[in-house]
Amino acid sequence: MKHWMNVISKYYQRIVNSIAFYPTIIAVAFMVFSIFVMRIEFNDLVIELKSNIERVLVHDSNNARLILGTIVGSLISLMVFSFSMVMIVLNRATSTLSPRVIPGLISDKFHQVVLGFYLGSIIYSLILIVNIDAPGVDFSVPSLGIFVSMILAIVCMGLFVYFIHSISQKIQVDFILNDIYKLTKKELEGVDHDNAKKELPDTSDWITCLAKDSGYLKKIDGPGLTEFCKKHDFRLNVKVSIGSFVVKEYPFIEISKELDEDVIDQLSSYFTLYTEERVSDHYLFGFKQISEIAVKALSPGINDPGTAVKAIDLLSDLLTKLMEVDEQNYIPNSEDEPLVFVRPVPFKDVMFQIIVPIREYGKKDVSVLVRLLDCIKHMIYSDIHRKRFTSLLISYVDNFLTCSEEYIDNKLDKESINDRLREINECLEKEQQFQLL
Protein backbone atom coordinates (compact mmCIF):
# COMPACT_ATOMS: atom_id res chain seq x y z
CA MET A 1 0.00 0.00 0.00
CA LYS A 2 2.84 2.37 0.91
CA HIS A 3 4.46 1.68 -2.46
CA TRP A 4 1.35 2.77 -4.34
CA MET A 5 0.99 5.84 -2.13
CA ASN A 6 4.51 6.93 -3.14
CA VAL A 7 3.78 6.33 -6.83
CA ILE A 8 0.57 8.34 -6.55
CA SER A 9 2.49 11.09 -4.75
CA LYS A 10 4.93 11.39 -7.67
CA TYR A 11 2.13 11.78 -10.22
CA TYR A 12 0.33 14.18 -7.89
CA GLN A 13 3.37 16.48 -7.82
CA ARG A 14 3.56 16.47 -11.62
CA ILE A 15 -0.14 17.25 -11.98
CA VAL A 16 -0.15 20.02 -9.35
CA ASN A 17 2.87 21.72 -10.95
CA SER A 18 1.24 21.70 -14.40
CA ILE A 19 0.10 25.05 -15.82
CA ALA A 20 -3.30 23.49 -16.59
CA PHE A 21 -4.04 22.25 -13.06
CA TYR A 22 -5.77 25.26 -11.50
CA PRO A 23 -7.56 26.36 -14.70
CA THR A 24 -9.02 22.86 -15.04
CA ILE A 25 -10.19 22.74 -11.40
CA ILE A 26 -11.73 26.22 -11.59
CA ALA A 27 -13.43 25.51 -14.94
CA VAL A 28 -15.03 22.33 -13.56
CA ALA A 29 -16.15 24.25 -10.47
CA PHE A 30 -17.82 26.92 -12.64
CA MET A 31 -19.54 24.22 -14.69
CA VAL A 32 -20.98 22.69 -11.53
CA PHE A 33 -21.95 26.16 -10.31
CA SER A 34 -23.80 26.90 -13.57
CA ILE A 35 -25.79 23.67 -13.25
CA PHE A 36 -26.62 24.60 -9.66
CA VAL A 37 -27.82 28.06 -10.75
CA MET A 38 -30.02 26.50 -13.43
CA ARG A 39 -31.56 24.16 -10.88
CA ILE A 40 -32.53 26.95 -8.48
CA GLU A 41 -33.27 29.63 -11.10
CA PHE A 42 -37.03 28.97 -11.12
CA ASN A 43 -37.39 27.97 -7.48
CA ASP A 44 -40.18 29.83 -5.65
CA LEU A 45 -37.76 31.52 -3.24
CA VAL A 46 -35.47 32.60 -6.07
CA ILE A 47 -38.41 33.92 -8.09
CA GLU A 48 -39.44 36.01 -5.09
CA LEU A 49 -35.87 37.28 -4.77
CA LYS A 50 -35.78 38.22 -8.46
CA SER A 51 -39.01 40.18 -8.08
CA ASN A 52 -37.20 42.44 -5.60
CA ILE A 53 -34.26 43.14 -7.93
CA GLU A 54 -36.02 42.96 -11.28
CA ARG A 55 -34.67 46.37 -12.36
CA VAL A 56 -31.14 44.96 -12.72
CA LEU A 57 -32.25 41.73 -14.40
CA VAL A 58 -32.61 40.93 -18.09
CA HIS A 59 -36.05 39.67 -19.12
CA ASP A 60 -35.91 39.68 -22.92
CA SER A 61 -34.34 36.61 -24.55
CA ASN A 62 -32.74 38.61 -27.38
CA ASN A 63 -31.08 41.00 -24.93
CA ALA A 64 -29.98 38.02 -22.86
CA ARG A 65 -28.28 36.37 -25.84
CA LEU A 66 -26.66 39.67 -26.82
CA ILE A 67 -25.28 40.28 -23.32
CA LEU A 68 -24.00 36.72 -22.86
CA GLY A 69 -22.52 36.65 -26.37
CA THR A 70 -20.72 39.92 -25.69
CA ILE A 71 -19.40 38.58 -22.38
CA VAL A 72 -18.17 35.33 -23.95
CA GLY A 73 -16.46 37.12 -26.84
CA SER A 74 -14.82 39.66 -24.53
CA LEU A 75 -13.60 37.03 -22.08
CA ILE A 76 -12.15 34.92 -24.90
CA SER A 77 -10.21 38.00 -26.05
CA LEU A 78 -9.00 38.65 -22.50
CA MET A 79 -7.99 35.02 -22.07
CA VAL A 80 -6.07 34.93 -25.35
CA PHE A 81 -4.30 38.19 -24.52
CA SER A 82 -3.46 37.03 -20.99
CA PHE A 83 -2.17 33.69 -22.24
CA SER A 84 -0.07 35.52 -24.84
CA MET A 85 1.42 37.67 -22.08
CA VAL A 86 2.36 34.54 -20.13
CA MET A 87 4.05 33.14 -23.24
CA ILE A 88 5.95 36.42 -23.68
CA VAL A 89 7.23 36.18 -20.10
CA LEU A 90 8.32 32.57 -20.64
CA ASN A 91 9.99 33.42 -23.95
CA ARG A 92 11.82 36.37 -22.41
CA ALA A 93 12.93 34.25 -19.47
CA THR A 94 14.27 31.61 -21.85
CA SER A 95 16.14 34.03 -24.11
CA THR A 96 17.55 36.48 -21.54
CA LEU A 97 17.70 34.55 -18.27
CA SER A 98 17.74 30.76 -18.14
CA PRO A 99 15.40 27.98 -19.31
CA ARG A 100 15.66 26.53 -15.81
CA VAL A 101 13.56 29.36 -14.34
CA ILE A 102 10.54 28.43 -16.51
CA PRO A 103 9.09 25.76 -14.16
CA GLY A 104 8.99 28.33 -11.37
CA LEU A 105 7.22 30.88 -13.58
CA ILE A 106 4.74 28.32 -14.90
CA SER A 107 3.81 27.28 -11.38
CA ASP A 108 2.80 30.85 -10.45
CA LYS A 109 -0.61 30.24 -8.91
CA PHE A 110 -2.05 33.71 -9.56
CA HIS A 111 -1.64 33.46 -13.34
CA GLN A 112 -3.25 30.02 -13.32
CA VAL A 113 -6.17 31.26 -11.21
CA VAL A 114 -6.79 34.20 -13.56
CA LEU A 115 -6.80 31.98 -16.64
CA GLY A 116 -9.05 29.51 -14.82
CA PHE A 117 -11.47 32.29 -13.85
CA TYR A 118 -11.66 33.44 -17.47
CA LEU A 119 -12.25 29.90 -18.72
CA GLY A 120 -14.82 29.16 -16.00
CA SER A 121 -16.76 32.36 -16.72
CA ILE A 122 -16.87 31.50 -20.43
CA ILE A 123 -18.18 28.00 -19.72
CA TYR A 124 -20.73 29.39 -17.26
CA SER A 125 -22.02 31.92 -19.81
CA LEU A 126 -22.19 29.34 -22.61
CA ILE A 127 -24.31 27.04 -20.46
CA LEU A 128 -26.65 29.96 -19.74
CA ILE A 129 -27.04 30.70 -23.47
CA VAL A 130 -28.10 27.10 -24.05
CA ASN A 131 -30.81 27.46 -21.39
CA ILE A 132 -32.42 30.58 -22.87
CA ASP A 133 -35.90 29.69 -24.16
CA ALA A 134 -35.34 26.14 -22.94
CA PRO A 135 -38.46 23.93 -23.27
CA GLY A 136 -40.28 22.75 -20.17
CA VAL A 137 -39.88 25.89 -18.05
CA ASP A 138 -42.29 28.70 -17.30
CA PHE A 139 -39.67 31.42 -17.69
CA SER A 140 -37.67 31.69 -20.91
CA VAL A 141 -34.75 33.75 -19.57
CA PRO A 142 -32.50 32.66 -16.64
CA SER A 143 -32.27 36.28 -15.49
CA LEU A 144 -30.51 35.61 -12.17
CA GLY A 145 -27.87 33.51 -13.90
CA ILE A 146 -27.29 36.30 -16.43
CA PHE A 147 -26.94 38.80 -13.59
CA VAL A 148 -24.28 36.56 -12.00
CA SER A 149 -22.55 36.31 -15.40
CA MET A 150 -22.35 40.10 -15.61
CA ILE A 151 -20.82 40.21 -12.12
CA LEU A 152 -18.27 37.58 -13.17
CA ALA A 153 -17.40 39.66 -16.25
CA ILE A 154 -16.74 42.71 -14.05
CA VAL A 155 -14.55 40.59 -11.74
CA CYS A 156 -12.66 39.29 -14.79
CA MET A 157 -11.92 42.85 -15.90
CA GLY A 158 -10.57 43.63 -12.44
CA LEU A 159 -8.42 40.49 -12.55
CA PHE A 160 -7.17 41.52 -15.99
CA VAL A 161 -5.97 44.90 -14.69
CA TYR A 162 -4.16 43.25 -11.79
CA PHE A 163 -2.82 40.58 -14.16
CA ILE A 164 -1.17 43.26 -16.31
CA HIS A 165 0.37 44.79 -13.17
CA SER A 166 1.61 41.38 -12.02
CA ILE A 167 3.03 40.36 -15.39
CA SER A 168 4.86 43.69 -15.76
CA GLN A 169 6.65 42.93 -12.49
CA LYS A 170 7.38 39.28 -13.13
CA ILE A 171 8.98 40.06 -16.49
CA GLN A 172 11.70 42.08 -14.72
CA VAL A 173 14.97 40.29 -14.08
CA ASP A 174 15.32 41.83 -10.61
CA PHE A 175 11.95 40.40 -9.57
CA ILE A 176 12.87 36.93 -10.85
CA LEU A 177 16.27 37.04 -9.14
CA ASN A 178 14.75 38.16 -5.83
CA ASP A 179 12.09 35.47 -6.05
CA ILE A 180 14.67 32.73 -6.63
CA TYR A 181 16.83 34.20 -3.85
CA LYS A 182 13.99 34.15 -1.31
CA LEU A 183 12.97 30.59 -2.20
CA THR A 184 16.58 29.38 -1.99
CA LYS A 185 17.07 31.11 1.35
CA LYS A 186 13.88 29.48 2.64
CA GLU A 187 15.11 26.05 1.51
CA LEU A 188 18.45 26.63 3.24
CA GLU A 189 16.72 27.53 6.49
CA GLY A 190 14.69 24.32 6.28
CA VAL A 191 17.69 22.00 5.89
CA ASP A 192 18.06 19.39 8.63
CA HIS A 193 21.46 19.92 10.19
CA ASP A 194 23.06 18.60 13.31
CA ASN A 195 26.68 18.55 14.43
CA ALA A 196 26.20 15.03 15.85
CA LYS A 197 26.88 12.85 12.80
CA LYS A 198 26.90 9.08 12.62
CA GLU A 199 29.89 7.22 11.26
CA LEU A 200 29.20 5.44 8.00
CA PRO A 201 29.80 1.69 8.46
CA ASP A 202 32.02 -0.34 6.17
CA THR A 203 30.00 -0.83 2.99
CA SER A 204 32.53 -2.94 1.08
CA ASP A 205 30.35 -6.04 1.38
CA TRP A 206 27.05 -4.23 0.84
CA ILE A 207 24.99 -4.86 -2.28
CA THR A 208 24.80 -2.08 -4.89
CA CYS A 209 21.42 -1.32 -6.47
CA LEU A 210 21.17 0.50 -9.79
CA ALA A 211 18.89 3.44 -10.52
CA LYS A 212 15.55 2.48 -12.06
CA ASP A 213 15.07 5.84 -13.81
CA SER A 214 17.05 8.88 -14.92
CA GLY A 215 16.61 12.36 -13.47
CA TYR A 216 17.59 14.70 -10.68
CA LEU A 217 17.29 13.25 -7.20
CA LYS A 218 14.77 15.72 -5.81
CA LYS A 219 13.46 14.19 -2.63
CA ILE A 220 13.78 11.24 -0.28
CA ASP A 221 10.78 10.14 1.76
CA GLY A 222 12.78 9.96 5.00
CA PRO A 223 10.11 8.77 7.47
CA GLY A 224 8.74 6.19 5.04
CA LEU A 225 12.20 4.96 4.02
CA THR A 226 13.46 4.50 7.59
CA GLU A 227 10.26 2.64 8.47
CA PHE A 228 10.72 0.43 5.39
CA CYS A 229 14.36 -0.32 6.32
CA LYS A 230 13.39 -1.24 9.87
CA LYS A 231 10.55 -3.46 8.67
CA HIS A 232 12.86 -5.46 6.37
CA ASP A 233 15.83 -5.29 8.77
CA PHE A 234 18.51 -3.67 6.60
CA ARG A 235 20.52 -0.47 6.36
CA LEU A 236 20.94 1.71 3.31
CA ASN A 237 23.49 4.17 1.93
CA VAL A 238 22.56 6.68 -0.78
CA LYS A 239 25.62 7.12 -3.00
CA VAL A 240 24.62 10.46 -4.57
CA SER A 241 23.68 13.82 -3.10
CA ILE A 242 20.20 15.28 -3.36
CA GLY A 243 20.15 17.54 -6.41
CA SER A 244 22.55 15.34 -8.38
CA PHE A 245 21.60 13.95 -11.78
CA VAL A 246 21.25 10.18 -11.82
CA VAL A 247 21.41 8.11 -15.00
CA LYS A 248 19.42 4.91 -15.34
CA GLU A 249 21.46 1.82 -14.35
CA TYR A 250 23.92 4.01 -12.42
CA PRO A 251 25.04 2.68 -8.97
CA PHE A 252 22.53 4.53 -6.85
CA ILE A 253 22.20 2.97 -3.39
CA GLU A 254 23.88 0.31 -1.28
CA ILE A 255 21.97 -2.08 0.99
CA SER A 256 23.36 -4.15 3.83
CA LYS A 257 21.71 -7.42 2.79
CA GLU A 258 20.20 -9.05 -0.26
CA LEU A 259 16.53 -8.30 -0.89
CA ASP A 260 13.89 -9.71 -3.21
CA GLU A 261 13.37 -7.91 -6.50
CA ASP A 262 9.85 -6.78 -5.56
CA VAL A 263 11.19 -5.31 -2.31
CA ILE A 264 13.84 -3.39 -4.27
CA ASP A 265 11.12 -2.09 -6.59
CA GLN A 266 9.20 -0.85 -3.55
CA LEU A 267 12.40 0.69 -2.22
CA SER A 268 12.86 2.81 -5.37
CA SER A 269 9.45 4.41 -4.84
CA TYR A 270 10.81 6.30 -1.81
CA PHE A 271 13.09 8.35 -4.12
CA THR A 272 11.71 11.09 -6.36
CA LEU A 273 13.56 11.63 -9.64
CA TYR A 274 12.49 13.87 -12.53
CA THR A 275 14.16 16.25 -14.94
CA GLU A 276 12.79 19.67 -13.96
CA GLU A 277 14.80 21.85 -11.59
CA ARG A 278 12.53 23.50 -9.05
CA VAL A 279 13.97 25.63 -6.25
CA SER A 280 11.28 24.30 -3.91
CA ASP A 281 12.77 20.81 -4.28
CA HIS A 282 16.32 21.63 -3.14
CA TYR A 283 18.38 24.72 -2.49
CA LEU A 284 21.07 23.62 -4.98
CA PHE A 285 18.71 24.37 -7.88
CA GLY A 286 18.30 27.94 -6.65
CA PHE A 287 22.08 28.42 -6.61
CA LYS A 288 22.33 27.02 -10.13
CA GLN A 289 19.53 29.21 -11.50
CA ILE A 290 21.03 32.43 -10.10
CA SER A 291 24.44 31.42 -11.46
CA GLU A 292 22.99 30.66 -14.90
CA ILE A 293 21.23 34.05 -14.98
CA ALA A 294 24.59 35.71 -14.25
CA VAL A 295 26.33 33.70 -16.98
CA LYS A 296 23.57 34.48 -19.49
CA ALA A 297 23.84 38.19 -18.64
CA LEU A 298 27.57 38.08 -19.41
CA SER A 299 27.08 36.42 -22.80
CA PRO A 300 27.82 38.60 -25.89
CA GLY A 301 24.19 38.46 -27.01
CA ILE A 302 22.86 39.91 -23.72
CA ASN A 303 25.86 41.90 -22.39
CA ASP A 304 24.27 42.95 -19.09
CA PRO A 305 27.01 42.99 -16.43
CA GLY A 306 24.71 44.82 -14.00
CA THR A 307 22.48 41.75 -13.74
CA ALA A 308 25.54 39.55 -13.26
CA VAL A 309 26.79 41.80 -10.46
CA LYS A 310 23.45 41.60 -8.64
CA ALA A 311 23.38 37.82 -9.06
CA ILE A 312 26.86 37.61 -7.51
CA ASP A 313 25.69 39.74 -4.56
CA LEU A 314 22.76 37.39 -3.92
CA LEU A 315 25.01 34.35 -4.25
CA SER A 316 27.39 35.93 -1.75
CA ASP A 317 24.67 36.01 0.91
CA LEU A 318 23.40 32.51 0.09
CA LEU A 319 26.89 31.00 0.12
CA THR A 320 27.59 32.63 3.47
CA LYS A 321 24.46 30.98 4.86
CA LEU A 322 25.39 27.66 3.25
CA MET A 323 28.73 27.74 5.07
CA GLU A 324 26.82 27.68 8.35
CA VAL A 325 24.77 24.63 7.36
CA ASP A 326 26.14 21.32 8.59
CA GLU A 327 23.81 18.74 7.10
CA GLN A 328 23.22 15.41 8.76
CA ASN A 329 24.73 12.41 7.01
CA TYR A 330 21.83 10.18 7.97
CA ILE A 331 18.04 10.28 8.15
CA PRO A 332 16.91 9.54 11.71
CA ASN A 333 13.83 7.55 12.57
CA SER A 334 11.74 7.96 15.72
CA GLU A 335 14.44 6.17 17.75
CA ASP A 336 17.34 8.06 16.11
CA GLU A 337 18.71 4.86 14.59
CA PRO A 338 21.14 5.37 11.66
CA LEU A 339 19.34 3.14 9.16
CA VAL A 340 19.57 5.44 6.12
CA PHE A 341 22.84 7.22 5.31
CA VAL A 342 22.87 10.10 2.83
CA ARG A 343 25.60 12.13 1.18
CA PRO A 344 25.33 15.84 2.04
CA VAL A 345 26.09 18.22 -0.81
CA PRO A 346 29.79 19.18 -0.41
CA PHE A 347 30.31 22.92 -0.13
CA LYS A 348 33.26 22.82 -2.51
CA ASP A 349 31.06 21.19 -5.17
CA VAL A 350 28.47 23.95 -4.85
CA MET A 351 31.20 26.58 -5.13
CA PHE A 352 32.64 24.99 -8.25
CA GLN A 353 29.27 24.60 -9.97
CA ILE A 354 28.14 28.19 -9.49
CA ILE A 355 31.30 30.32 -9.27
CA VAL A 356 33.52 28.86 -12.00
CA PRO A 357 31.09 29.56 -14.90
CA ILE A 358 30.72 33.18 -13.76
CA ARG A 359 34.49 33.52 -13.47
CA GLU A 360 35.02 32.08 -16.95
CA TYR A 361 32.51 34.35 -18.69
CA GLY A 362 33.34 37.42 -16.62
CA LYS A 363 37.13 37.23 -16.46
CA LYS A 364 37.49 40.07 -18.98
CA ASP A 365 35.17 42.38 -17.00
CA VAL A 366 36.91 44.03 -14.06
CA SER A 367 33.60 44.98 -12.39
CA VAL A 368 32.64 41.29 -12.31
CA LEU A 369 36.08 40.31 -10.98
CA VAL A 370 35.85 42.93 -8.23
CA ARG A 371 32.39 41.72 -7.23
CA LEU A 372 33.61 38.11 -7.14
CA LEU A 373 36.41 39.21 -4.81
CA ASP A 374 33.81 40.98 -2.65
CA CYS A 375 31.83 37.73 -2.57
CA ILE A 376 34.86 35.76 -1.35
CA LYS A 377 35.72 38.54 1.10
CA HIS A 378 32.30 38.29 2.75
CA MET A 379 32.63 34.53 3.01
CA ILE A 380 36.11 34.73 4.55
CA TYR A 381 34.81 37.23 7.11
CA SER A 382 31.97 34.85 7.94
CA ASP A 383 34.42 31.96 8.35
CA ILE A 384 36.99 33.93 10.35
CA HIS A 385 36.42 31.97 13.59
CA ARG A 386 35.62 28.47 12.35
CA LYS A 387 38.09 28.53 9.43
CA ARG A 388 36.43 25.51 7.83
CA PHE A 389 36.59 26.83 4.29
CA THR A 390 39.32 29.49 4.42
CA SER A 391 41.81 27.42 2.40
CA LEU A 392 39.20 26.73 -0.26
CA LEU A 393 38.25 30.41 -0.48
CA ILE A 394 41.91 31.45 -0.76
CA SER A 395 42.32 29.09 -3.70
CA TYR A 396 39.40 30.78 -5.46
CA VAL A 397 40.90 34.24 -5.00
CA ASP A 398 44.15 32.98 -6.46
CA ASN A 399 42.21 31.39 -9.32
CA PHE A 400 40.36 34.63 -10.09
CA LEU A 401 43.58 36.63 -10.25
CA THR A 402 45.35 34.04 -12.41
CA CYS A 403 42.52 33.79 -14.95
CA SER A 404 42.07 37.57 -15.23
CA GLU A 405 45.73 38.54 -15.07
CA GLU A 406 46.14 39.26 -18.78
CA TYR A 407 43.05 41.53 -18.79
CA ILE A 408 44.12 43.74 -15.85
CA ASP A 409 46.24 46.31 -17.65
CA ASN A 410 45.54 49.74 -16.15
CA LYS A 411 46.24 51.46 -12.87
CA LEU A 412 42.63 52.19 -11.90
CA ASP A 413 41.61 48.54 -12.22
CA LYS A 414 44.60 47.41 -10.20
CA GLU A 415 43.84 49.89 -7.42
CA SER A 416 40.25 48.65 -7.14
CA ILE A 417 41.41 45.02 -7.00
CA ASN A 418 44.15 45.86 -4.47
CA ASP A 419 41.57 47.47 -2.19
CA ARG A 420 39.70 44.14 -2.06
CA LEU A 421 42.92 42.18 -1.54
CA ARG A 422 43.85 44.38 1.43
CA GLU A 423 40.46 43.73 3.03
CA ILE A 424 40.84 40.00 2.43
CA ASN A 425 44.38 40.02 3.85
CA GLU A 426 43.08 41.47 7.11
CA CYS A 427 41.32 38.15 7.78
CA LEU A 428 44.25 35.91 6.84
CA GLU A 429 47.41 34.76 8.52
CA LYS A 430 50.57 36.44 7.30
CA GLU A 431 51.70 33.45 5.25
CA GLN A 432 48.27 33.27 3.57
CA GLN A 433 48.06 36.90 2.50
CA PHE A 434 48.04 37.92 -1.15
CA GLN A 435 50.61 40.10 -2.82
CA LEU A 436 49.16 43.30 -4.23
CA LEU A 437 49.17 43.89 -7.97
Q: Which pTM does this prediction carry?
A: 0.79
**Strand, helix or coil for residue 303:** coil
**Residue pair 211/250 in contact by the 8 Å Cβ criterion:** yes
CA distance 252 to 259: 15
Mean pLDDT of the chain: 82
What average pLDDT score do residues 89-97 get? 72
DSSP 8-class letter at 432? G
Burial of 110 from C-beta contacts in 10 A (0-12 / 13-18 / 19+) = middle
- C-beta of residue 408 within 8 angstroms of C-beta of residue 437: yes
Between the alpha carbon of residue 88 and those of residues 80, 98, 102, the distances in Å are 12, 14, 12
- Reply yes or no on whether the pLDDT at 42 is more than 80: no
- Separation of alpha carbons 21 and 289, rounded Å: 25
Q: Is the pLDDT of residue 108 over 80?
A: no
Q: How far apart are CA 200 and CA 206, in angstroms?
A: 12
- Decide if 279 contacts 181 (C-beta within 8 A): no
| pLDDT beyond 90 at 3 | no
- Residue pLDDT, tens place only, 348-401: 888 999 999 999 888 888 888 999 999 999 999 888 888 888 889 999 989 888
pLDDT digits (tens, 9 = 90+) for 116-168: 899 999 999 998 888 777 665 555 677 788 888 999 999 999 998 888 888 77
Burial 309-344 (b: 16+ CB within 10 A, else e): bbbbbbbbbbbbebbeeebbbbbbbeeeebbbbbeb
- pLDDT by residue (tens digit) across 215-241? 888 778 788 888 888 888 888 888 888
* Spatial CB neighbours of 411, under 8 Å, sequence gap ≥ 6: none
pLDDT at 104: 66
Sheet holding 340-341, edge to edge: 207-210, 251-255, 236-238, 340-341, 330-331
Q: Measuring CA to CA, which residue among 327, 317, 35, 81 is closest to residue 182?
A: 317
Residue pLDDT, tens place only, 272-306: 777 777 777 788 888 988 998 898 888 887 788 88
